[in-house]
Amino acid sequence: MMISFLGSLPLGTLNVAAMQIGLQESIADAVWFSLGSLLIEMVYVRLSLVGIDWIQKQDRLMRIMEWVTLAIILALAAGSFAAALKDNPEAKNVFLKNDMHRFLLGMFMSAINPVQIPFWFGWSTVLFTKKILQPRRDQYNSYIVGIGIGTLAGNCVFIFGGKWVAGRIANSQQYLNWVIGGVFAITALIQLYKLLRHKDAISRFTKKTSAAKTPANPQ
C-alpha cells in the first residue's frame, strides 16, 4: 500500500487525468475513473507475479501500447490547451467530452499504460529477495489489495487537492487547464525521448529479464 501510494504521487497521466475529471465533472466521476485504473493495475500485478515469461514475449505489443499512450497524452495536452484558450471558464478537455462511463475510461487508459508492469516487477523482485513477500496465494491477494488501496489514496490526493486549490484561485479552471496541459505536454516529450532512445520502462524491463536468463560465462 505504501509503495503504491508513494508511486502514485509523482505527476503522471492517470493521476492528472483523475484530477481534471474531478475539476471539470465531479468527485464521484474522478473516483470511478481511479477505481477503473487501479483495477487494471491490480490485474497487471497479478500477471507479473505468475506470468512474467509470457509478458516478456509480448514486447512488440507493449511497445505498440506505449506509442498509443503517447498519442493519448498528446491529445490530452491539446485538449487542455484548447479548453484554456476558450473564453468559457467551464470549458472541458475535448478528450473528456464523451459518454463513456469514467470507470471504463479509467480501465482503458490504465490498460494501454504498460509502464506499470516493469514498475511492479521490480518492486516484487525486491520484496521476494528480502523474503517480505512469499509466493503464497494469501500473500499475493493481500499484496494486490494493498496496491489498489494505495493507488486510490494517491489519486485522492490529486482529486481533492486539485479541488481545494481550484476553490481558492479566481478563474482557477482556466489556469489549471494551462497547467494540466503543460504537464501532459512535458510528459509526452519525456515519453517520446525515452521511446526514441530506447530508455523507456519496457526496454529496461526487457533487457533486465533477458540478462537474468543469460547463463553466466564459465570463464
Residue 195: per-residue pLDDT = 75
CB of 159 closer than 8 Å to CB of 168: no
For range 38-51, the mean pLDDT: 85
Residue 189 belongs to a domain? no
Domain holding 54, by residue range, is 2-70+93-169
Q: Does 88 map to a domain?
A: no
What digits encode the pLDDT tens for the residues 84-129? 777 665 556 666 777 889 999 999 888 887 677 778 877 888 888 8
Domain-located, residue 187: no
**120 occurs within a structural domain:** yes
Task: Give the pLDDT confidence score for residue 72 in this predicted structure.
Answer: 77
pLDDT score recorded for residue 7: 86
For the CA atoms of 115, 121, 124, 129, the dihedral, rounded to the nearest 10 degrees, stands at: -140
b/e for 108-146, b at 16 or more Cβ within 10 A? ebbbbbbbbbbbbbebbbeeeeeeebeeeeeebeebbeb
Tens digits of residue pLDDT in 164-218: 887 776 556 677 778 778 888 887 888 788 778 766 555 555 555 555 443 333 3
| Tally of domains within the chain | 1
The stretch 78-89 carries a mean pLDDT of 73
pTM of the model: 0.73
In a domain, 84, yes or no: no
Q: Indicate whether 190 belongs to any domain.
A: no
pLDDT for 68 equals 76
Q: What is the pLDDT of residue 170?
A: 57
213 is a domain residue: no
Residue 63 scores a pLDDT above 80: no
Cell representation of residue 91: 470549458
Question: Is the Cβ–Cβ distance between 6 and 123 less than 8 Å?
Answer: no
pLDDT on residue 208 = 54
Q: What is the mean pLDDT of the chain?
A: 78
In a domain, 81, yes or no: no
Per-residue confidence (pLDDT) for residue 134, from 0 to 100: 86
Predicted local confidence at residue 115, as pLDDT: 72
Whole-angstrom Cα distance, residue 1 to residue 115?
18
What are the tens digits of pLDDT across the range 15-29?
888 988 988 888 999
